[in-house]
A and B are shown apart, each in its own frame.
Chain A
Amino acid sequence: MRERQVWLAVLALGLMVLPWHNTVPSGASPFMPSALGLAADGRGWLWPLVLLLPLMFWAGMRDAAGQVFLALAIGGFALLLAQGFVVGLRGPSLDWVAGVFPTSTQGQTGFGWGGFVTGVALLGLIAHALALRGFCRGDRFAGSAVVFIVALLGLFVFFPILKLALAAFVGPDGELAIGPFLARLFAPEIWRLDCLTGGRRCGVVINSLVLGLLAATICTTLGLALALIVSRTSFRFKQTLRALSILPIITPPFVVGVAIIVLFGRTGLITGWGAELFDIRPTRWVYGLTGILMAQVLAFTPITFLVLLGTVEAINPTLEEASQTLGAGPVKTFFKITWPLLRPGIAAAFLLAFIESLADFGNPIVLGGGYEVLSTRIFFAVVGARYDLGNAATLAMILLSLTLIAFWLQQRWLGRKSYVTVTGKSDAGLASTLPFGLKGVAWAVVVPFVLFTLGVYAVVLVGGFVHDIGRWDLTPTFAHLNTAFAFEISANGVQFFGSAWNSMQTTLIVSAIAAPLTTLVGIMTAWLVARQDFAGKNAFEFGTMLSFAIPGTVVGVSYVAAFNVPPVDITGTAAILVICFVFRNMPVGMRAGLAAFAQIDRSMEEASSTMGAGGATTLRRVVLPLVKPAVFTALVYSFVTAMTAVSAVIFLVSARHNMATAYIMGRVEAGEYALAITYSTVLMIVMIVCIVLIQLIVGARKLGRRREFQGQTTPAE
């Protein structure tokens, strides 16, 4: 019962010692800011919580089966939430509460350490009591993990979305009603179809859909062409192409858009050539749908390429060989055998690109001009002077619905037919080469794309270190680097004056904290799903995937709606940034973990627990070393995403905790392209260094396999 005592001690700490609120309420004694002190000071609504403590001690001694204990812990947790939500910043939301506790009309601020520690302790006690009653086959560690992850998902994924959905129904007078929601939902500026019938603009949803469908089509076509060239022709630079496809993933947002403006803007380099050589009048054609599309194709084609490459390479060549043996030509083989087998991959790639395009924020905001999409409209409804949370919430719900429908279609499409071709039987055949005409088409599609990509990255590479790339002034200079990262070493030690230090520091710290936490939560969740049986497992798995489907803009708005007010009042802190990253990226760690667990037989874990190790020891000593590749994937992904994400964090940054991407966006908006490009280059270098470091720290999976043949290791006599 040591565990119970530890948790009870933590509970006592949270209720009696630590400051209950994040600021000491006015009029309260600063010496007793704990729940106990505040309750004694006249804030009567805290008494029930405080009195819980002796009750639980009593129950802990008397109730061996844990029934009463469990009820008390759950009741306590409910009480904690209830008091927090009912008594808000400006007094209680229920009238009778004000009647019973007159002092509650003064209101209370959000939870401080005391409130949070109390919550954690109560959750620990709930998990403990549940384990006593046989939850997770009595494995206390697994039981606690389930309880904590469910609570965290509830607080940081479902609660914000719920709060956001509610905000969509709040009218201008602050009352909940269906009317304002319907008015916002059916506003003509959302659904207007004018542009199809010759009018000026379409609604913002139509814009988003048109952009998403076009981007997905082009990206999938390009991705397929690239995948076919890499896997089915004697193309020489396959490894280079694969390595290059990583580039857009570590490219900070906005910089591609800026490079496109530098190349194709009205005074851009290529526009200039066009004007000189062919006498084309320079225009602003790049702003709008075309420009966004160009940037998105560049950014998302590598993703579709990787998905489709996997599909193409997984097709068992014996099938194609059989087709050709039976007399079909290469063209017929391709369309009758290869193409149908590619379809699920194509569908997956298409939907992935579609979802990415819908969620994209960085490119539309730089290149959009007057072309508004959902993500930018949501942004301006929250941070602009046209502040209207209700409208933002409605648009966010629409965006979320579109994304969920796409996800659902993807699951459905892939779930219906069997496309299994890797069977364990011999697949020693040779993959058929591409039909000649198709090869030509593929090259014709790929070459302009590769040239375009090279051009954009050349601008990125050069732009930071020349005087003014926007006006094509190519005098080399370190001035931009100096503006961003100047420092002086004086008697007071090192002083950082560069304007980018603040955001760089925050970004690195937040990413460095978020990455291991994301990995931890992701791998833990995978372990629970793959290896433990507990009630509600399917719902649990679905919940974790949901947090992946929510577009970043929606996450950002929902966090603003949920965490800008007590009881969990954490906007403006670094914690909210970390939390946001952990729960957005955790599903990737989980997927990587699930794949790894599928390869590892349970027998090793069973052996470990037979020999007396508990769940935690088994996880640490047996499971984690075996899933190192998944740990690496999760760490790298979450680190890189934390460094480059913008759509969610743009809502969550503050003067104290500014992130690199938000800073870059400000520079782009102000037209300081060179500074933005310099910073992006520095970020990319930092990311590459960090990935190498992670590789060194995590290391490869060490299986006890012999590396050489026996005969070579034994010295000859």
Chain B
Amino acid sequence: MRKSTIISATLAGFITAPVAASANELVLYCSVQEEWCRLMAESFQRETGINVLMTRRSSGETFAQLKAEEGQPRGDVWWGGTGDPHLQAAEEGLTAEYQSPMLEELQDWAVSQAEASGFRTVGIYAGALGYGFNTELVADPAPGCWADLLDERFRDDIQVANPNSSGTAYTLLATLVQIMGEDEAFEFLGELDENISQYTQSGAAPIRNAATGETAIGIVFMHDAVAQAVQGAPITAVAPCEGTGYEIGSMSLVKDGPNPDNARAFYDWALSPAAQALGAEANSFQVPSNRNSPVPPESPSLDQITLIDYDFATFGSSDTRQRLLSRWDDEIGARR
């Protein structure tokens, strides 16, 4: 009789209760290229012995995940990805306030990102929006402006991410609205839609597809296009002539995360020149935010690009973001 008890207890016993978080860990939500994410996690692990559990998701997806986990967060640090969703997370109280001792070493734009959020996020890199085209697929004349993308020869040959999931694509949306005005921007996107073959999930996927020739043009951040060219793909990066927006890639601490001390250790480390130099090693050519970090020679120089005066406060706010995204869903997404 006892044996039967034991067997039935085993049968039921695998309703295993959740395992408590062990001490020396860091749960990292990473929103840049996988390769860079891996290198960051690995380097931090080597240096500190803290075991890094890393998930790579696009910034929009990570924001959705933070929201879903509100109340019992499972992540510690959200590193990378465009600044807008970071600002929105700060606004909604999903991330924690922290003033790193490294702040004084940072560029002005990185500090102003921190100030705009009440020190709930900080800039870690910057990069301009643009697009890249496959030189084997695009004949002369080469495109050089946003308006060139409406050309009929690019029918079904352009890719861009879905602004709902990707910060890159949202930056495009916000940039066009700031250059053209809202109604005109949506008119432009509607015409552009004729040429779009697919709205991808991840922001950099379009340029990867352009590199392998699956599409002719990918609208991405210029450093992503440069990265493909450096790796030998027939890609030319374009800084559009009408001017373009840029991102301030950001980092935030998840509020009430399971390992707050390790999170702060990572935060300070990630702002150091040594950690920021890892980007170029991983073929990511953003401009780093620490003044002492070396700027990779391949990086598209921000001084030589016509940059608009991007209004991060307005376009990073929940209201504007939601309004623009739902308008995009209604007018562009609904056509699909």
Contacts and interface: CB of A to CB of B under 8 A. Distances in A.
B213 interface: yes
A483 to B, nearest CB: 8
A375 B209 CA distance: 24
Contact of A124 (B5, B55, B67): B5
Given A499-B38, A670-B34, A144 B197 contact: no
Interface stretch (B95-103, B199-207, B269-277): B199-207
A372 B74 CA distance: 31
A28 B212 CA distance: 58
A609 to B, nearest CB: 14
A204 to B, nearest CB: 11
A200 B27 contact: no
Contact of A89 (B4, B27, B71): B71
Nearest to A575: B16
Given A667-B34, A670-B202, A575 B56 contact: no
B75 A655 contact: yes
A533 interface: no
A706 interface: no
Interface residues of A, number: 82
A335 to B, nearest CB: 46
Contacts of A616: 3-4, 7
A670 B197 contact: no
Contact of A666 (B4, B13, B34): B34
A141 B4 contact: yes
Contact of A384 (B198, B201, B205, B335): B201
Contacts of B164: 384-386
Contact of B214 (A7, A284, A499, A672): A284
B208 interface: yes
A246 interface: no
A682 B67 CA distance: 36
B132 to A, nearest CB: 13
B4 A614 contact: yes
A573 B335 CA distance: 39
B68 interface: yes
A265 B2 contact: no
Contact of B18 (A110, A144, A499, A524): A110
Contacts, number: 182
Interface-centre pick from B156, B197, B335 (highest chain A CB count, 10 A): B197
Interface in A562-582: 564, 569-570, 572-575, 578-579, 582
Contact of A2 (B1, B56, B156): B1
Interface string B318-336: 0000000000000000111
Interface in B190-240: 197-199, 201-202, 204-205, 208-209, 211-215, 233
B257 to A, nearest CB: 11
Given A112-B17, A127-B8, A201 B34 contact: no
A404 B3 CA distance: 40
Interface in A632-674: 654-656, 658, 666-667, 669-672
A22 interface: yes
B29 interface: yes
A3 interface: yes
A470 interface: yes
Given A265-B212, A656-B27, A120 B15 contact: yes
B204 A3 contact: no
B189 to A, nearest CB: 16
B1 A140 contact: yes
Contact of B9 (A112, A120, A574): A120
A20 B63 CA distance: 32
A90 interface: yes
A521 interface: yes
Main secondary structure of the interface of B (DSSP, over half): mixed
B8 A124 contact: yes
A386 B165 contact: yes
B60 interface: yes
A275 B54 CA distance: 43
A658 B53 CA distance: 10
Contacts of A370: 197-199, 336
Interface-centre pick from B29, B74, B204 (highest chain A CB count, 10 A): B74
A670 B60 contact: no
A656 B25 CA distance: 10
A670 B212 contact: no
B114 interface: no
A445 to B, nearest CB: 30
A113 B16 CA distance: 8
B11 A670 contact: no
A261 interface: yes
A112 to B, nearest CB: 5
Contact of A267 (B33, B61, B156, B214): B214
Contact of A144 (B4, B16, B27, B198): B4
Contacts of A149: 11
Interface string B133-157: 0000000000000000000000010
B180 interface: no
A471 B212 contact: yes
B197 A148 contact: no
B23 interface: no
A606 interface: no
A553 B18 CA distance: 23
Interface string A373-403: 0000000100111110000000000000000
A10 interface: yes
B24 interface: no
A151 B198 CA distance: 46
A517 interface: yes
Contacts of A115: 17
Nearest to A582: B14
A152 B29 CA distance: 34
A3 B5 contact: yes
Given A615-B4, A655-B54, A667-B34, A573 B68 contact: no
Interface-centre pick from A266, A385, A502 (highest chain B CB count, 10 A): A385
Interface string B104-145: 000000000000000000000000000000000000000000
B298 interface: no
A104 interface: no
A287 interface: yes
A109 B209 CA distance: 45
Interface of B: 1-5, 7-9, 11-20, 27-29, 33-34, 38, 42, 53-56, 58, 60-61, 63-65, 67-68, 71-72, 74-75, 156, 164-165, 197-199, 201-202, 204-205, 208-209, 211-215, 233, 334-336
13 contacts: A110-B18, A144-B8, A148-B8, A284-B156, A372-B336, A385-B165, A520-B11, A574-B19, A579-B14, A582-B14, A616-B4, A669-B201, A671-B205
Q: 7 shortest A-B CB distances, which residue pairs?
A: A671-B208, A385-B60, A267-B213, A575-B16, A144-B8, A141-B4, A655-B55
